[in-house]
Structure 1
Amino acid sequence: MAKKIGILRGREDNFPNMLAQVVERKTRGRVQVEQMVVGAEPLRKRWEYDVILDRISHDFPYYRYILKSAAVEGSYVIPNPFQWSADDKLLGFNLVDRLGVPVPRTVTLPVAGSTQLYDITPQSLRNLKYLSPEDWERIFEYIGFPAWLKPASGGGWLAVTKVRSREEFWHNYNHAVHHEKRLGLESEAEDFAVRRWLSRTLVFLLQQDIPYQKFARCWYLGGEVLTARFVPPDRVAGQRLGRYEHDPDFFGRELLERIERYVRLINESLGYEINTVEFLVKDDCPYAIDFLNCVCDLDVGSIGPYFAERTIDKVADYLIRCVEDPTARLQRRNGLWAKLVTGQTP
């Protein structure tokens, strides 16, 4: 009987469809790939999939509940749904800093407008320190301007803003997310819905801006690393996609080896199997600025044919190994979360 991989996907078509074709071609039908169908599910349901690849539960939380139960009942779920539910950027930056990988100076901030949240009163926040003007000034001096205001959890550049002054910081932190139409969404109803979601969940980080000379975006795919020279989009000009270039000479041998060593260290330590890591290089020092992208962009329209072909090939190889040889599953080697709950860290 053929082994099976189930894929949960959202709007993307190119990557899942090509992945299915490559897996079935490589295995000559020994492994089949299907689009997983989820409805109202009973307790203890045992899914028919040996491996499930999740590409959408970050946008539709119902799937995450199903995936955790599927993992308990024997399916191997990528990415680890328990880890993904617990992860956030503050934890990630803390751990990566402990690993000795350079990261920007970072401060986590209380939710702006906390007393305006549903069913939250001043009595609910008696443990929350009031930040005085002097406290804020120390934060600004530590981080510097320009800086990046970004959610502690989330992706897709939602609510990420470059702030160039104290005035811009206060405008965006205190006011813009909650009161102004600045999210760039197509309709007022959509804008309002997103804003309501943000007001319940948006914990911000304020992070040092790195004036970089080089930008690397690296894929970690089942233990292997691919590195692209990345030219980010000009979002002020309305660009949505950046440009990926295969140009290893751009970084030089020593810097490229260091970047890829960091990529392996970060992912092996944090327990991710499929992920991207971004580095800003200033004076030959690579700063890790983003590394929680376990549903990374693998669409040919975004990353181009060169990287699309290679990433699909490596993802297919890893999924096949996970199906046919359980000892190849990298989550088996991930002791991070067991260490965290017992007070140990890398």
Structure 2
Amino acid sequence: MKKIGILFGKERSFPEAFIERINSRGIAGIIAEPVVIDKVMQGEPSGYAVIIDRISQDVPFYRAYLKNAALCGTAVINNPFWWSADEKFFNNCLATKIEVPVPKTVILPSRELPTDTSEASFSNLSYPMDWPSIFSYVGFPAYMKPFAGGGWKSVYRLTGPEDFFEKHGETGQLVMLLQEEIVFEEYYRCYCIGGKYVRIMPYEPRNPFHLRYVADFSPSAERLREMEEIVLRINQYLGYDFNTVELAVRNGVPYAIDFCNPAPDADIHSVGAENFEWVVETVATFAIEKALAQVDGKDNLTWGEYIRRSSHQQTLR
């Protein structure tokens, strides 16, 4: 029997529907259930062929558990090693190398010294930084947000340098991104599952939260193909099996605004019934594919094109 587990926190609608969908198919030798952890021994298998991870970004214990499970052959979605290494600034840097349009973005050191550091820890950092060049490059208005994390936490819209310094003073030890504002005509949130299944959803982030998937625009067939290709390219390079990409269309050009969302919102009350049905069905299908292909004791993780190419170059040396 191959078990497919889902590891989750407070959410209920997606995990419960995901489990029910897999089990309702009645596939011999496949069963889905919530992950149960009563002990974690080094080098011991988890008992799951596949685990869908929805919560380890908030619970370090779970991330360590998943790395051990992956080492023993579990196909973890998403790859816990890459997820641990990734962050939004790297995503933007990578996008500039794979011809995906992104807003002009810089990373900033934290306003306050990190715990257990002193000014001597930053001998290599110029002070003050070259703020005129930074502000000229990004422009105003601009957005400032944490370089890691999500959920619209600690996100600021800034009107100029004075506003920047005031708001940056509120960010404590957070490492922030300063990013060009893209004034868009259309905006899309796009699920990508398994690096091959894409769902492009019109999305209006300026609406109240419960109305953000209610938008009065839709893509042309040509733009739909263009955005799907961008979404696939991003996720295949990063190696995410379950992710969302947010695209803002300015002057006909789709800009990737945010594409490091490896535990994306999949709640029926926010994404709506049609999108919810698609993501439940598609993730269930992909999880079954992964379970059928999984081999105990082997590496069953997805590794992105960026890592594969880097590894190949090392092998050639």
CA distance change for structure 1 residues 40 and 330 in 2, over 3 Å: closer, same or farther? Answer: closer
Q: Indicate if the aligned counterparts of 2:70 and 2:300 stay in contact, CA closer than 8 A.
A: no
Q: How many residues end up aligned between the 2 structures?
A: 310
Matches within 5 A, 1:58-77: 58-77=57-76
Task: Return the offset for 1:52.
Answer: 0.8
What SS does the aligned partner of 1:220 have? strand
1:244 aligns with 2:213: yes
CA distance change for structure 1 residues 103 and 69 in 2, over 3 Å: closer, same or farther? Answer: same
Task: Return the offset for 1:339.
Answer: 3.6
Which has a greater percent of helix?
1
Given the alignment, which residue of 233, 250, 269 partners 1:301?
269
Task: Return the offset for 1:131.
Answer: 2.6
In structure 1, how many angstroms separate the alpha carbons of the residues matched to 2:132 and 2:215?
43
Matches within 5 A, 1:46-195: 46-114=45-113, 117-132=114-129, 135-174=130-169, 176-178=170-172
Task: Return the offset for 1:240.
Answer: 3.6
1:216 aligns with 2:164: no
In structure 1, how many angstroms separate the alpha carbons of the residues matched to 2:230 and 2:155?
25
What SS does the aligned partner of 1:205 have? strand
CA shift digits 1:294-330 (9 cap, x unpaired): 1111111110001101111010000010011249x99
Match of 1:192 in 2: none
Aligned residues: CA RMSD: 2.1
Match of 2:234 in 1: 266
1:314 aligns with 2:259: no
Q: Indicate if the aligned counterparts of 2:7 and 2:51 stay in contact, CA closer than 8 A.
A: yes
What SS does the aligned partner of 2:171 have? helix
1:226 aligns with 2:199: yes
CA distance change for structure 1 residues 89 and 41 in 2, over 3 Å: closer, same or farther? Answer: same
Q: Indicate if the aligned counterparts of 2:49 and 2:294 stay in contact, CA closer than 8 A.
A: no
Match of 1:292 in 2: 260
- Indicate the percent of aligned positions where both proteins have the same amino acid: 37
In structure 2, how many angstroms separate the alpha carbons of the residues matched to 1:29 and 1:78?
22
In structure 1, how many angstroms separate the alpha carbons of the residues matched to 2:226 and 2:300?
22
Q: Indicate if the aligned counterparts of 1:147 and 1:206 stay in contact, CA closer than 8 A.
A: yes
Task: Return the offset for 1:254.
Answer: 1.1
In structure 1, how many angstroms separate the alpha carbons of the residues matched to 2:229 and 2:90?
21
Task: Return the offset for 1:255.
Answer: 1.2
Higher relative contact order (CA 8 A, sep 6+): 2
Structure 2 gaps, min length 5: none
In structure 2, how many angstroms separate the alpha carbons of the residues matched to 1:87 and 1:342?
20
CA distance change for structure 1 residues 204 and 141 in 2, over 3 Å: closer, same or farther? Answer: same
CA distance change for structure 1 residues 145 and 257 in 2, over 3 Å: closer, same or farther? Answer: same
Q: Residue 146 of structure 1 aligns to which amino acid in structure 2?
A: P
CA distance change for structure 1 residues 244 and 281 in 2, over 3 Å: closer, same or farther? Answer: same
Given the alignment, which residue of 241, 248, 251 partners 1:283?
251
What SS does the aligned partner of 1:27 have? coil
Q: Indicate if the aligned counterparts of 1:24 and 1:30 stay in contact, CA closer than 8 A.
A: no
Match of 1:37 in 2: 36
1:205 aligns with 2:174: no
Q: Indicate if the aligned counterparts of 1:233 and 1:241 stay in contact, CA closer than 8 A.
A: no
